Amino acid sequence: MPYVELDTSLPSARLPSGLSQRLCAATAAMLGKLQDRVNVIVRPHLTMILGGSGDPYAQLIVSSIGVVGTAEENRDHSAKFFEFLTKELSLSQDRINIRFYPMEPWQIGKKGTVMTFP
């Protein structure tokens, strides 16, 4: 159950229509998860500073169980997410950061309990 949060200083009007749906589909494909399990949040028009600069910026936070736990996995995911984000947001790679957070099933509450796997 991946959670993907895109924070950006770009105003809503500069985000392409359907971005959240395309990010959901791309995340599912990149992480090998079912699309109906992916959770996406897009937060535009935030005050964000990167390296002392207020130029347009985006930060992607990717949290998931079992697919973002190693440098090797994240290197591959990073390349794919950067390709997607630079195209969709028209930002250069130096104005995008990605943070990966591995999760355990017990860290996700759902239906009044936490997730467990047999």
Going from the first residue of the chain to its last (118 residues), give the mean pLDDT of each consecutive group of 10, the final group possibly shorter: 96 97 97 94 97 96 91 93 97 96 87 72
Q: How far apart (Å, rounded) are the C-alpha atoms in residues 60 and 88?
A: 13
- pLDDT on residue 42: 98
- Which one is catalytic: 2, 44, 105, 118? 2
Range of the domain at 44: 2-114
- pLDDT on residue 1: 85
Domains in the chain, number = 1
- CATH (domain of 9): 3.30.429.10
| pTM for the whole structure | 0.91
- pLDDT on residue 110: 78
Q: Which strands make up the sheet holding 58-65, listed edge to edge?
A: 39-43, 3-8, 58-65, 96-103
- pLDDT on residue 106: 85
- pLDDT on residue 118: 56
Q: Specify whether 2 is catalytic.
A: yes
